[in-house]
Amino acid sequence: MDSLTQIVLGAACGEIALGKKIGNKALLFGAIGGTIPDLDVFVGSLFYSNSIDELIFHRGFMHSIVFAFLGAYVFGQGTFKLYNTKKRIGTTTSRDWIWLFFLSIFTHPLLDSFTPYGTQLFLPFSDYRVAFNTIAVVDPIYTIPFLISLIILMFFKRTSSKRSFWLKSGVYLSSAYLLFTIGNKIYIDRVFKNALSESKIEYERYSAQPTIFNNILWYAIVETKEDYKVSFYSHFDSQKPKNSFISLPKNHELLPMKQNADLKKLSWFSNDFYNLQQIDNNRIQYNDLRYPLLNPEDKNSSVFSFEIKKNGNRWEAMPLYDKTPTKEDLQKFWNRVLGN
């Protein structure tokens, strides 16, 4: 999920592991631990010069279970040696710090696994991307109550029972909401699959996920032999999404996606849910269709798009700066959330 959410979750893990011993400093170190996996964005830019390689590296090994164990030991031992000096000698143990970093690092990819982006939890043994598609990459309802509880917690002494109460409140509320998104996903899948059946659409693959910032408006994509079909459904809709599927052409013939190693990686990254669009004579747009159209009325408003360019012998996926969402896109998106 987003950086703020991972900082909050990491801080809570720090409090669980060491809050009673070192107070608010545990929140700080937990927040640092919760941020470590996302440093793969910077690590990838150091090791790779190709944008597609960097894209694949993110949420790769540094988001794996193996890294959680290795990172916990390295960062735990290192922090203990730095912390266990002068008046602090004997106040904590290396085991305390290893536990803090394990909790904060491991819960990061675990939470990411519930988003559509997913994470490669089982590297280096498998590159399978775990993505349960139950919660958006940014969801304030998960994050804000959790954040508020930790802020309140900071004003109490480390031995206070009220500190424990607010920690549990944040953890329980966020966990309850995450469980709700799982149940919501099960319900939404049934809604969309019934709509596909009623619309007599024969499809090969199906996926559904919440749109950004909420768990109310959901987006479904299905692949048929000829094209992709997408649809939206909001809990505020007065009708089920029968005959509401929009057809998107694949246009896969515009690039040799399956014959080139770089493009094949990009296809894998999108779980093969992508289409191509000719921008002009020399430019091709790649749309990752796992993510919804921002403007449900605009087939070209995919929120996760790149311009595909040849750079020497390699292909690159470059940001589309001219595809910044407009106020109209955002307004139509919000209206669609409200069921309009």
* Interval 291-310 mean pLDDT: 83
Global pTM?
0.94
Contact 63, 112 (CB under 8 A): yes
Nearest to 59 by CA among 7, 8, 127: 127
Write down the residue that tokens 């019934």 correspond to: 194
With 90 as the cut, is the pLDDT of residue 301 above it? no
Q: Report the 10 Å Cβ neighbour count for 253.
A: 8
For every residue of 223-269, which 3-state class applies, written as one string? ECCCEEEEEEEECCCCCCCCCCCEEEECCHHHCCCCCCHHHHHHHHH
Question: Which 3 state secondary structure label does DSSP give 310?
Answer: strand
Range with the lowest mean pLDDT among 143-147, 170-174, 273-277? 273-277
Q: What are phi and psi of 271, to 5 degrees?
A: 55, 30
pLDDT digits (tens, 9 = 90+) for 103-146: 999 999 999 999 999 999 999 999 999 999 999 999 999 999 99
pLDDT digits (tens, 9 = 90+) for 175-229: 999 999 999 999 999 999 999 999 999 999 999 999 999 999 999 999 999 999 9
Contact 237, 219 (CB under 8 A): no
Write down the residue that tokens 């994050």 correspond to: 143
Q: Report the 10 Å Cβ neighbour count for 327.
A: 7
Task: State the pLDDT at residue 323.
Answer: 61
